Amino acid sequence: MKLLRLDDPALLELAANWLRREENYKWLDFGEGAHPLSVISLKIMTQRDLHVLRLFTPDDSDLPIGIVALSDIRRQSKTAGSLWMVLGRKCYAGSVARAVSKLLTFGFGELGLEAVSAWTVESNVAARRVLEQLKFRYVGWLRRRHWIGGRPHDRLLYDLLATEHREIPDVPVPRAARGFIRAVCASRDSNAGPSAPEADALSS
């Protein structure tokens, strides 16, 4: 697995395409009726110290399969106010926690962060499982704070300290399993069409 910088126009466009899909941006903090991030917005984010965005790949390919990000980074207080992720190809859902884990290692190690906050919508079970797998601690609850389709939802708040982080180790995927995953992804992509890659926002 690799974490890739969004320093190429093609990678920026790919990330923006995933974020343009309603089933993804509805979980993120764009707000009701707001437009998802554009290529220009993503490029600006990559150039600011407030954000760290990375695309991640599977173990057996350099093809990006999702986005992980730390936002609202405050170097003085050594915190990141938001962690979020978008999965570009659902057949690689098992890779999300490890990708986030690698980004957290970068945040705590290279950036010197001491705490990372995250939130997710109460009904986003997949995101909750990822945060729990990464040992994030549940710290609060904001009622009627997130709107999807004109309906209010609660947000669940989490945080993780540098001393609590343990990176999930890389585990080589057996060759037979790689072939199966590729076949499943190819089947889904052919059904969805080249302009509509599968994606799913897991947390914000």
- What is the pLDDT, as a whole number, of residue 125? 93
Query: For residues 67 and 39, what is the distance between their CA atoms, to the nearest angstrom?
Result: 14
pTM of the model: 0.82
Residue-level pLDDT at 47:
87
Q: 141, 146, 144, 134: which is closest to 105 by C-alpha?
A: 134
User: Could you read off the pLDDT of 141-150 as tens digits, one per residue?
Assistant: 999 999 888 8
For residue range 90-129, what is the model confidence (pLDDT) as tens digits? 888 889 999 999 999 999 999 999 999 999 999 999 999 9
47-92 confidence digits (pLDDT tens)? 888 999 999 999 888 999 999 999 999 999 999 999 999 988 888 8
Task: Tell me the pLDDT of the chain averaged across its residues.
Answer: 84
71 Cβ partners below 8 Å, 6+ apart? 45, 50, 51, 80, 81, 82, 83, 84
Q: What is the end-to-end Cα distance of the chain in Å, rounded?
A: 22
pLDDT of residue 17 exceeding 80: yes
Residue 201 has pLDDT above 70, yes or no: no
Query: Measured between alpha carbons, how far is 162 from 24 in angstroms, rounded to an integer?
Result: 28
Q: Residue type at 97?
A: A
pLDDT of 5 above 70: yes
DSSP label of 61: -
